[in-house]
Structures are given as structure tokens and as C-alpha cells.
Amino acid sequence: MSDAIAIAGHALREAVRRRVLLVVTLLTAVFLGLFALAAFEAFDSLEQTGGIIPVDERALAGGTLLGLAMFVALFLGVVLAVFLTLDAVRGHAERGLLQPLVVRPVGRTTLLIGRLLAACAVCVPYVVIVFLLAVLITQAAGDFTPSSYFVPAAGLALGVVTVVAISLLGSTVLGTTANGIAVFMVFGTGLAAGLLGQIGDGLKVDALITASSIISWIVPFEALYQNGLHALTSDIGGAAGVIVQLGPFGGASSVGAAIWPYAVAWSAAVMALAALAFGRRDL
Amino acid sequence: MTAAALSARGLSKRYGKTAALDAVDLEVGAGELVGLLGPNGAGKSTLVKIACGLVRPTAGEAQVAGAAAGSRVARASTGYLAELFRFPSWAKADEVLALHQRLARSDGGPAEREALLARVGLSGEGGRRMETMSKGMQQRLGIAQALIGSPRLVLLDEPTSALDPGGRRTVRDLLVELREQGVGVLLNSHLLSEIELVCDRVVIIDGGRVVTEGRPQDLTAPGGVEVETSDGVRRLPDARREDVPRIVRELVDGGAEVYGVRVVTGSLEDAYLAAVVGRD
């Protein structure tokens, strides 16, 4: 484990020296500023109009804004996860950076675990902090409290871990650009499946709902995201509850407690595949 | 009995239908400097990569200090400088060495890092980032990195390709030091003069097979005797060193004035070309 931590420290130092963390922090601050502006404006507008549609507009605005915050936190976390790992194996091997490390008495699996730890050490706190700051902003702007903090935050955290695992697996077989494209397409497919499920739910088309459900378990970041969205607004009742559960950022759906151990096992299995592929690879 | 630094038996590697190595036998003893020569694509780098565990052989076996090549024990006894050597541009020289110390489980600390930097002519450069170092400096650092943890086998793939003549001299001196310390070195290089100067033994491979091997002086064929007389320079291609007194005596007896005699020996380049081009 000490070797994995050494590799992780090396990768983290790279992220700092290459100013990845600085750029991410600055751009995230811009996003949160815009989010705060939107939140305060939205709730101010509600207070001025006094409500023009027969639903709980405060809950609708709060739920929608936090749904947006969850979506953006996941998206930015995935971008971070992919760019921190997309060249971990083949990309680094092609540039001659990997071979001197592999020759050391460190297992290739340890090298992969080190890269996993480094990416997770950045991405997991990132998505959790961005989400919780958005919650605080929404509370300050409109006194809106989500139904749950923990489930959405944990879902985001585990969701980016699954994406890190996918990206590391891809890096063992694909070049840098191809891997980046592949992981974003997988991510896009997951999100599209969520939207399809949302459409199926609205139109009551069982085939779409089933397809969406299957895909969200194949790529569990989507199931975790749907689960988090559901937990975020599960206490909102009436028409506002129906609207925010359908959500503009993918359908909210409670997928059950099994998603947690499943996503952990899924990530472990993907990492095991990555270790197998890396172990068999000539460098 | 001390195990050989590197021992390969029947080593083969195929990439699809292409045989990169074909039943290669090779041994590098403790304290022995072995030069590995061959044209591009001969299989030299593949052999080196199998020895350090980057590539798995299709058949045969290789051992480093008695342990299967590629195993954790073997890798702990191996130092390696890749032909395509790269270190992260953002890292400082000292950080690169410190990471390798940790992974190699070397407890040498800063003293070892400073000593290694001094050994490759980079004293006081530990705080420099890779992006500010010339390619030659990075190659020197690569050699220092390969020596971390006092390996029993050092595999150097084109270690002087980016070095100026001064740097090459430093590496030659370093190789001699390694020999004195009992470290086995496999030196893969196209610079025949370097190999001829320092190596105890030379192995020439072509098409994945060992085509010839031996001590440099044994591989270089005699090239005759040149005699400078009042009539000009005469070359006697079949004459040997032992023939010189007789040749001079006959010339003087014949009335010629002899100004100089030179025993001509073939170079390693001649031997290499005879072994490689002669096969084409």
C-alpha cells in the first residue's frame, strides 16, 4: 500500500504542478458564482410574483436548482476524472514515462491502484464539496432544504469512482485520445439512458423505462445519479414533486440500497480487468 | 557460486508472425560489461525489455541474479535506462530520484541521490525541473536513476545517444567503476567505438538470433602490415605481427630504406559489418 500511496502522491503532485487543481478551482468558483446569482434571482422573483402556477414554487425552484447542481457536479467531476487518468497506462507507456516505474519491484496492479487513489483523492472531495456548496447557496437564497444531503453526495462520490475505474481500464488498451472519447461516450450513453427513462416515464412506455433501468445498472454512475436526484427531492409532494422527480436533468429514480455494494463491486471488477489487461501488456 | 547477473536460455519473442527474438542464449557475468550490437530491428531492445520484465517472452527463460526475469526479486536487482527515456517535465531531478528510491526500497536517502548526481556529472542540479534540462542532462539523470539501490544488473539501452563527448567519457568511466564493483552491465548501443573501448565481450544479434560473440580483440581480424619505405607505403594484407622482423630484414637486405612499420588490425565495425552485412 505504501507503494500505491507513493504513486498516488506522484500523480497528485503532477496535478498541482500542471495547475490542474488551480484551473479547476477557479472555474468552479465561476460556476458557483453564477449558480448563486441564479438562485438568488429565482427565489427573489418568486417572492415578487407571489406564485403564478398552482404548485409549491419554492420547492420546484429549489429542487430544480439542486438538480442542476448535481448534474454539473457530476459532469465536472467526470471531466476531472477522465483527464487525470485517460493516459495512465498506454499514453504514459507511449511517452516512455511508465517503463522506468514498471521496472521497479512494484506490482503493475499497485501502479494502477496508485493512479486510482490519486484520481479519487481529487474527484471525490471535488464533487462532494461542489454539491454541498450548492446546497448551502440554495438554502441561503431561498431557505430551501433538500430531502437528503448524504445520498446525493455519496452517489456523486461513488459515481466518479466508477468513471475513474472505466477510464483506467480504457487506458490499458486505448491511446490517450481514443480513451478520452470512449469514456465520454460511455458517460453520454448513461445520461442519454436516464433521459430516455424520463421520457418513457412521462409517456408511460415500459420498454423505454426498462431499457433505461438496465443501462443505468450497466454504467452505475447513472443509477447512482438517478438515485441521488430522487433522494434530493423525495419529500416534495404534489405537482411540484412530480415535476422535479421528472427533472430537466435526467429522471429521478430510487434504485434501492443494492446500488451501493453493487457500484463498489462493479468498480472493483473493472479495476481487476484493468489490472489483468495491464499485467498482460508488453511495454 | 554467484549467479550470473543475467542469463538467457532459448529466449524467443514473437509478435504475430514476426520473430523479434529466436532462441537467444546470452549470459552477463557479475562484473562483466557486455555490448549488444545489431542493426535496427535486430531484437536488441526486445531482449533488454524481457530482461527487465517489460516484455514477456514467447519461449525460453531469462534470469536476473538467479531470479526469473520480471519477477519482483529480479526487478529489485535490476537498473534500467530505456532507449526512449522520459521523466515528467514538471518534476525536479531530486524528486525523480526520490520516487525511484522509494519504489526500489533504497534507504540511501539524500546522500545516495547526491552521490548519484555527482557520478553522472549533475552535481547541484537536483533542484532543476526536467523541462529546463537538456536531453543530455536528462539522459545522465536516467543513468543515475538506473543505479539507485545498487542493482546487480544494469541494462542500458543506447545510454549515450544524447550525450556530448564529455558525457560519453563520463559514462565510460562509470561503466568501468560498475565493473569494479561487480555489477553486470548489458550495454545496447550503435556506437561501436564506445563498446570496443569498454566492453569485455560483444554479442552481435541480427534477425533475432545471435550471429557472433566474443571478446572485442578476438572479433577484430588482423588486417595485415603496412611498411613505409623509400618507394612509398606498401601493404602486405596477409602478413601478421610475427612477420614484421622478417619483412623488415628482407627489405633492408634488398636495399630499401624502411621509415615505419604498422600492424593493421580490423575494427569492431569491420567485424560487425562482416557479421551482419555478410549475412544479407
CATH of the domain at B40: 3.40.50.300
Domain ranges of chain A: 2-279
Cα B233 to Cα B236: distance, rounded to the nearest angstrom: 10
**Residue A195 buriedness (CB in 10 A; 0-12 / 13-18 / 19+):** middle
**% chain B with pLDDT above 90:** 61
Min distance B81 CA to chain A CA atoms (Å)? 7
Per DSSP, the residues of A135-188 read HHHHHHHH----S-SHHHHHHHHHHHHHHHHHHHHHHHHS-HHHHHHHHHHHHH
Which residues, 6 or more positions from A23, have their beta carbon under 8 angstroms from its beta carbon?
none
Min distance B203 CA to chain A CA atoms (Å)? 24
The angle formed by the CA atoms of residues B249, B250 and B255, to the nearest 5 degrees, is 95
Summarised one tens digit per residue, pLDDT across range B222-243 is 778 899 988 888 888 888 888 8
Mean of pLDDT values over B244-264: 90
Q: Which residue has the cell 613505409?
A: B228
Helix axes A220-233, A57-85, angle to 10 degrees: 150
pLDDT confidence of A248, banded at 50, 70, 90? low
Our count of domains for chain B comes to 2
> Per CB distance under 8 Å, which residues of B are interface residues toward A?
49, 52-56, 72-73, 75-76, 78, 80, 82, 84-88, 90-91, 95, 99-100, 102-105, 142, 145
Question: Given B56, B75, B91, which is nearest A103 (Cβ)?
Answer: B75
pLDDT at B1: 63
Cα B114 to Cα B176: distance, rounded to the nearest angstrom: 20
B172's grid cell: 565510460
pLDDT at A265: 97
- Average the pLDDT over each of A46-55, A119-128, A144-153, B236-245 and give the range with the smallest value: A46-55
Q: Which residues share a beta bridge with A224? A: none
Q: Do residue A282 and residue B56 have CB atoms under 8 angstroms apart?
A: yes
Answer whether residue B55 shows pLDDT above 60: yes
Residue that finishes a domain, picked among B160, B183, B213: B213
Answer whether residue A249 shows pLDDT above 70: no
Cα A222 to Cα A260: distance, rounded to the nearest angstrom: 12
Summarised one tens digit per residue, pLDDT across range A163-199 is 999 999 999 999 999 999 999 999 999 988 888 888 8
pLDDT confidence of B267, banded at 50, 70, 90? confident
B45's grid cell: 531492445
Cα B106 to Cα B150: distance, rounded to the nearest angstrom: 8
pLDDT at A59: 83
* Mean pLDDT value across chain A: 90
Cα B249 to Cα B251: distance, rounded to the nearest angstrom: 5
Range(s) of the domain holding residue B271: 220-279
Residues B100 and B231 in one domain: no
Summarised one tens digit per residue, pLDDT across range B125-150 is 999 999 999 999 999 999 999 999 89
Cα B227 to Cα B258: distance, rounded to the nearest angstrom: 7
Answer whether residue B51 shows pLDDT above 60: yes
Cα A222 to Cα A218: distance, rounded to the nearest angstrom: 9
pLDDT at A168: 97
Answer whether residue A158 shows pLDDT above 60: yes
Within-domain flag for B275: yes
**% chain A with pLDDT above 90:** 61
Residues B253 and B182 in one domain: no
CB atoms within 10 A of CB A142: 21
Residues B228 and B249 in one domain: yes
> Distances from the Cα of A273 to the Cαs of A170, A279, B162, B225, in angstroms?
10, 10, 39, 67
Residue B170, CB half-sphere, CA atoms under 13 Å: how many? Answer: 22
Residues B250 and B117 in one domain: no
Within-domain flag for B1: no
Residue that finishes a domain, picked among B213, B237, B271: B213
Cα A228 to Cα A149: distance, rounded to the nearest angstrom: 9
Cα A89 to Cα A111: distance, rounded to the nearest angstrom: 9
Per DSSP, the residues of B167-214 read HHHHHHHHHHHHHHTT-EEEEE-S-HHHHHHH-SEEEEEETTEEEEEE
Min distance A107 CA to chain B CA atoms (Å)? 8
Q: Do residue A14 and residue B105 have CB atoms under 8 angstroms apart?
A: no
Residues B152 and B174 in one domain: yes
If we measure between CA atoms, which residue out of A154, A168, A197, A7 comes closest to residue A86? A168
pLDDT at B256: 86
Answer whether residue B280 shows pLDDT above 70: no
- DSSP3 helix / strand / coil % (chain A, rounded to 5): 80, 0, 20
> Per CB distance under 8 Å, which residues of A are interface residues toward B?
2-3, 6, 10, 13-14, 17-18, 95-97, 99-107, 280, 282-283
Helix axes A206-218, A220-233, angle to 10 degrees: 110
Residues B51 and B155 in one domain: yes
3 state DSSP class of B44:
helix
Residues B106 and B130 in one domain: yes
pLDDT confidence of B93, banded at 50, 70, 90? very high
Residues B44 and B162 in one domain: yes
- Inter-chain Cβ pairs, chain A and chain B, closer than 8 A: 66
Contacts of A105 in chain B (CB under 8 A): 72-73, 75-76, 103-105
Cα A102 to Cα A104: distance, rounded to the nearest angstrom: 5
Residues B207 and B224 in one domain: no
Alpha helices in chain B (DSSP H): 44-51, 72-76, 93-103, 109-119, 135-146, 165-180, 192-198, 216-219, 244-253, 268-276
Per DSSP, the residues of A105-125 read S--HHHHHHHHHHHHHHHHHH
Summarised one tens digit per residue, pLDDT across range A65-101 is 998 999 999 999 999 999 999 999 999 999 989 999 9
Contacts of A101 in chain B (CB under 8 A): 99, 103
Residues B141 and B243 in one domain: no
Residues B182 and B238 in one domain: no
Within-domain flag for B266: yes
Structure ipTM: 0.80
Q: Which of A2, A84, A104 has the highest number of chain B CBs within 10 A, making it the mutation to test binding with B?
A: A104
CB atoms within 10 A of CB A96: 16
pTM of the model: 0.85
Answer whether residue B279 shows pLDDT above 60: no
Answer whether residue A52 shows pLDDT above 70: no
pLDDT at A279: 93
Residues B191 and B167 in one domain: yes
Cα A78 to Cα A24: distance, rounded to the nearest angstrom: 12
* Mean pLDDT value across chain B: 90
